[in-house]
């Protein structure tokens, strides 16, 4: 599995995801072509059932398309087995979830260090890098707090630090502000924007809020398993 730095970071060709057969056949994704280059900040919009989550799962290598092709940095993901896709996630992808998904009763520092455990980083180095990642999201002083001792916005920032700590090529954020109020949502978006600008991390983020989508460099709108709009926020929204 060798990546190609010159190939587009993400390239979907005619991607379909079909569940069931015959009468019960449902196409969650009905043929999607999509190219995302390094450094983009892509906002994904669409109502529930529009296919955006399915598309995110495929892009995140958690799922595979039933037809079509997905290349990640030139690597044909469809040809990889489960273990190889896991390794691809481990080394290149970062995830932020709507419901934070931090380990309970575990300190922020240990939560952030978790991906490094699977990368085989030594304990001392893990601590150092986790501490750095927490500092990057402005929570250096909360390292010893458990999720229960943190606010929702703080928890999501810990989750972002966890996604950042392994220095991923791309960060997938599935409605990261869905459980937060407007003020916290704005902070999270601004954090993601600054990571995208300053660290040139590619960000693909799902959101329902047009006022948050304007922060993106590009907006995709899904409907009925297809992309129906694609362009800068000023054009799409």
Of residues 67 and 117, the one with the C-beta less far from other proteins: 117
| Close Cβ partners of 114 (under 8 Å, ≥ 6 residues apart) | 103, 162
Q: How far is the CB of 160 from other proteins (least distance, A)?
A: 13
Q: By C-beta, is 116 or 189 nearer to other proteins? A: 116
Give min distance, CB of 33 to other proteins, in A.
23
Instruction: Between 79 and 103, name the residue whose CB sits nearer to other proteins.
Output: 103
| Nearest distance, CB of residue 110 and other proteins, angstroms | 7
CB of 214 to other proteins, least distance (A): 28
Closest to other proteins by CB, 59 vs 236, is 59
Residue spans of beta strands (DSSP E) within 10-121:
10-19, 26-36, 41-45, 67-72, 75-76, 93-96
In the complex, what is the shortest distance from the CB of residue 94 to other proteins, in angstroms, rounded to a whole number?
8
**Alpha-carbon distances, residue 235 vs 27, 30, 32, 192, 208 (angstroms):** 28, 24, 20, 22, 17
- Give least dist CB 134 to other proteins, A: 16
Specify the 3-state DSSP secondary structure of 60.
coil
Judged by CB, which is closer to other proteins: 92, or 215?
A: 92
Task: Report the nearest approach of other proteins to the CB of residue 217 (Å).
Answer: 25
Interacting residues of 47 by C-beta distance below 8 A, sequence separation 6+: 223
Binding site for other proteins (CB under 8 A): 57, 60, 62-63, 82-83, 86-87, 89-91, 93-95, 97, 101, 103-106, 110, 114-115, 117-120, 162-163, 166
Q: Which residue has the tokens 């006022």?
A: 211
Q: In terms of CB distance, is 169 or 229 closer to other proteins?
A: 169
- Which residues is 205 bridged to in the sheet? 43, 173
C-alpha to C-alpha distance for 186 and 128, rounded to whole angstroms: 28
- Do 28 and 85 form a contact (C-beta atoms < 8 A)? no
CA distance 51 to 227: 9
Q: For residues 183 and 201, give the distance between their C-alpha atoms in angstroms, rounded to a whole number.
A: 24
Q: Compare residues 101 and 151 and give the one whose CB is closer to other proteins.
A: 101
Adjacent-strand bridge partners of 202: 170
């Amino acid at each position: 599995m060798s990546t190609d730095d010159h190939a587009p970071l993400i390239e979907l060709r005619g991607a379909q995801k079909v569940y069931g057969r015959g009468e019960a056949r449902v196409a969650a994704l009905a043929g999607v072509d999509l190219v995302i280059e390094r450094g983009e900040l892509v906002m994904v919009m669409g109502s529930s059932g529009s296919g955006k989550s399915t598309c995110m799962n495929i892009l995140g290598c958690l799922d595979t398309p039933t037809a079509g092709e997905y290349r990640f940095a030139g690597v044909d993901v469809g040809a990889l087995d489960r273990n190889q896709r896991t390794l691809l996630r481990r080394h290149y992808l970062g995830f932020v979830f709507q419901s934070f998904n931090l380990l309970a009763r575990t300190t922020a520092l240990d939560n952030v260090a978790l991906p490094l455990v699977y990368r085989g980083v030594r304990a001392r180095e893990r601590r150092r890098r986790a501490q750095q990642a927490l500092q990057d999201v402005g929570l250096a002083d909360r390292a010893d707090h458990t999720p229960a001792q943190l606010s929702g916005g703080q928890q999501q920032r810990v989750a972002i630090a966890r996604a950042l700590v392994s220095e991923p090529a791309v960060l997938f954020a599935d409605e990261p502000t869905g459980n937060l109020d407007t003020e916290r949502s704005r902070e999270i978006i601004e954090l993601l924007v600054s990571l995208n600008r300053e660290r040139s991390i590619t960000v693909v983020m799902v959101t329902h809020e047009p006022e948050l989508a304007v922060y993106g460099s590009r907006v995709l709108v899904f409907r009925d398993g297809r992309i129906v709009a694609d362009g800068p926020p000023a054009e799409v929204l």
